[in-house]
Structure 1
Amino acid sequence: MTVESKRIPPWYKQFWPWFLLGLLLSSIAVSTTYLVLSITTFDGMVEDNYYKRGLAINEVIEQDEHAARLGLRADLRIDDLTGDMTLDLSGEQRPERLYLALIFPTQGDRDLDLVLEHVRDGRYVGQVPRQLQHRWYMQLRPTQQAPAWRLTAEARLPTREAIALTPATQKDN
């Protein structure tokens, strides 16, 4: 009876060492990719000063109630070809200038602050710098800092219909 010695190939010619090294290298590559992405991309949804923002909710509620007491309501039309905005404000107050904040829900760098100038009898005009698409939140205020009232709306743009801006307290009912 002869025993033949089975020839074992060197380690670099076998399957399992390369399989285990491949798993290790792929996990390092994926981990490095996620690390770089987490460092370089900004998560705009995280509120860094949530306590101060929570205290300010009473001011926001007061602004909405004040707008409701004044009977304020606005209809906004945006021409998606030219970017012209026309706003008709009804109610007791008609300041010379209105400030419209267009807020994109998920990306803070797309937010816009626009100025609308009074032309006559509660009509205001302004200009949008670019064509708007997708869903937007809107806040209309008489001043930029510490406004006395505000009107809000949510709209999917572009639209041919007028966007109704009302006090937020009226939307809850």
Structure 2
Amino acid sequence: MSTAPVTPWYKQFWPWLLLGLLFTSITASSTLAVLAIRSADGMVQEDYYEHGRAINMILAKQQRAAELELAGDLRIDDQTGDITLDLAGDDRPERLILKLLFPTRDDRDQSFTLEHVRDGRYVGQAEERLAYRWYLQLQPDHDTPEWRLNGEATFPLDDTASLAPGGAG
């Protein structure tokens, strides 16, 4: 028979290790639960029905542009900021709206009004030099435009950027 003294449980290593693991997992899971509840899920859209209808309207505008056989070639002079657009097709309104949409930050988006000068040529002016990649949207300056052209460009432009129904944007 052994006469070694038996130490109480709270003076041994293993119970404290197991309790430490248990309390660590409780603390970590509680922290993650609080973060999940308090932070908003930005990927979920509450107005998904309206968003879907807006997509259908955009597709209808692009279809209308295809029916009118619209296409455009855009040039922006890097030095002067002169915007020149040559629009081909059956609809040539007096004024167009050109939107430059930055892919990652909507606070950098820009909008320009282009005036019709002759034979499908439109001109406008950019206040500052453009750089980086942008999505392009072109539509008539009406309350409810019936068509829209899309494109994509990286500035400064070496040549022209093409605008067509569908595409980017």
TM-score normalized with structure 1 length = 0.69
2-side partners of 1:48 and 1:160: how far apart? 42
Q: For the Cα contact (< 8 Å) 1:75–1:162, is it kept in 2? A: yes
Q: Could you tell me which residue of structure 1 aligns to residue 151 of structure 2?
A: 153
2:91 maps to which of 90, 93, 97: 93
Cα drift, residue 49 of structure 1: 4.3
Q: Report how far residue 102 of structure 1 moved.
A: 0.6
TM alignment of 1:1-12, pairs within 5 A: none
Superposition deviation, residue 54 in structure 1: 1.8
- Name the amino acid aligned to 1:116: L
Task: Report Cα offsets for 1:72-122 as digits up to 9, x if no partner.
Answer: 000000001110000000000110000001100111111011100000000
1:126 to 116, 120, 124: 124
CA distance in 1, matches of 2:149, 2:143: 15
Q: Distance in 1 between matches of 2:113 and 2:140?
A: 10
Deviations along 1:8-51, one digit per CA (max 9) or x if unpaired, are xxxxxxxxxxxxxxxxxxxxxxxxxxxxxxxxxxxx99867444
| Structure 1 moving runs of 4+ over 4 Å | 44-50
| Matched AA of 1:126 | G
Matched, 1:52 2:50: yes
Q: Shift of the alpha carbon at 1:66? A: 0.5
Structure 1: runs of 5 or more not aligned:
1-43
Distance in 2 of aligned mates of 1:134 and 1:46: 29
Aligned length: 132
1:97-108 alignment, distance < 5 Å: 97-108=95-106
Identity over aligned pairs, percent: 54
State the alpha-carbon separation in 2 of the partners of residues 123 and 47 from structure 1: 40
What is the CA-CA distance between 1:58 and the residue it aligns to? 1.0
Alignment partner of 1:166 is 2:164: yes
Distance 1:146 1:48, change over 3 A: farther
Letter in 2 for 1:142: P
Aligned partners of 1:48 and 1:122: how far apart in 2?
42
How large is the Cα RMSD of the aligned pairs?
2.7
User: CA 1:63/1:124 → structure 2, altered by over 3 Å: closer, same or farther?
Assistant: same
